[in-house]
Amino acid sequence: MKKVVITGMGIVSPVGTGVEYAWKNLLDGKSGVRKITEFDVSDVASQIAGMPKRGTEPGDYNPDSVIDPREQRKMEKTIMYALVAADEAIKDAGLTDYTGDKNRIGVSVGSGVGGLSTISENDVVIMKEGPRFVSPFFVPKSVVNMPAGHISIKYGFGGPNIAMATACATGAHSIGEGAEIIKRGDADIMICGGTEAAACRLGVIGFAAMRALSGRNDEPEKASRPWDKDRDGFVIGEGAGILVLEEYEHAKARGAKIYAEVAGFGMCADAYHITAPAPEGAGGKRAMQIALEKAGMKPTDVDYINAHGTSTGLGDLGELVAVKSLFDKNKTCMSSTKSMTGHLLGAAGAIEAVFSVLAIRDNIVPPTINLENPIDEVGDFNLVPNKAQKRKVDVALSNSFGFGGTNATLILKRVK
């Protein structure tokens, strides 16, 4: 069986653009959630989001550094986020001047929602001005597979090109399936991850109508509070996470830096409800068990879990119950980085895979901030409250669960 490793990473997130900037802010417990100023939310119950800061300072999201401003008019933010994160990951992996067969490099980058703001904007144009005024770039900007397509076109990667759309499990599924493509020999390298830009007026109104979002508008940084008794919903976020996956012997042969191995991947369905998790997190538990089996590991092998942990009532409880039923509280800790980033939907699993790899690299786990009054079910399980913890991390597990009852679990481990 081929071994798949991670040789490059890139990120655009509410806590920073650039892997090291985002990681430092996470470890410092800094929130990227703020009041929405990009569009009118005065009539919406939730008025906050985790948004990448656009600018030219280090750590800012600056698409001009990667994409010609004239080309940006043809692109949705989902595409631009993905291209900026991919550019960092590809450079990090040492693939900028790659001289091998680029038809053996593929792309697996998806989005949970796709170009929602473009769809919304063009619908307004149709209603106000008529069909003749719709942008000819409307469809190429908004369909889900365009971030993957643009990455392939920009870098000349002619291998498999796919785009998952599995709600909040998209990023993790994209990475897991990218690894499977390499294992079956269809590519040597896969550029994998997720991207999302659903924090537009329509997106916020839609999730608010479900009563899924936090209404803690006066304290944005404290709004995302997984496992806290005072949680009142998730905070929508935007960004992208991209990882370069590579067949181990191929990576060694070209002298690539190796971060970690993708050791296990589990996926399944709750087959229960369109938005609520199965009782006691049964589907998520099954995904974790499948990933452990694929990795040839026992629960006691796992040092750290990056939780789905969205700050919702049923979701937080179900995942916690499932984790406590599988893992040893004396060996395994768990935190939710969504407490700082908000929920990046289709990009969440990808940025959280990056954070899990960094926990392995640095032997430190990021905190769950705003965990001030834990729900009773937490007991003495270590959810890394409010401050990062130094601890040995050889194996990290990352969970991503989505609407429709879709579940994905990644297991990442140190390469020794």
Nearest-angstrom CA–CA distance, 97 and 285: 42
Active site residue 168: yes
Query: Token pair 């269809």 is at which residue?
Result: 186
Active-site residue, selected from the candidate residues 150, 168, 250, 333: 168
Active site residue 343: yes
Q: How many helices (H) and strands (E) does the chain have?
A: 13, 15
CB 355 within 8 A of CB 20: no
Q: How far apart are the first and last CA of the chain?
A: 18
Spatial distance between the Cα atoms of 395 and 249, rounded to a whole number of angstroms: 21
Burial of 249 (0-12, 13-18, 19+ CB in 10 A): exposed
Annotated catalytic residue within 150, 173, 250, 343: 343
Beta-sheet pairing, 395-402 with 304-306: parallel
Can 273 be counted among the known catalytic residues?
no
Q: Where are the alpha helices (DSSP H) in 169-214?
A: 170-183, 201-209
**Cα gap 330→159, rounded to integer Å:** 44
Q: Give me Rg for the CA atoms of the chain.
A: 20
Q: How many CB atoms lie within 10 A of CB 283?
A: 23
- Set 200, 268, 308, 333: catalytic member: 308
Just list the catalytic residues: 168, 308, 343
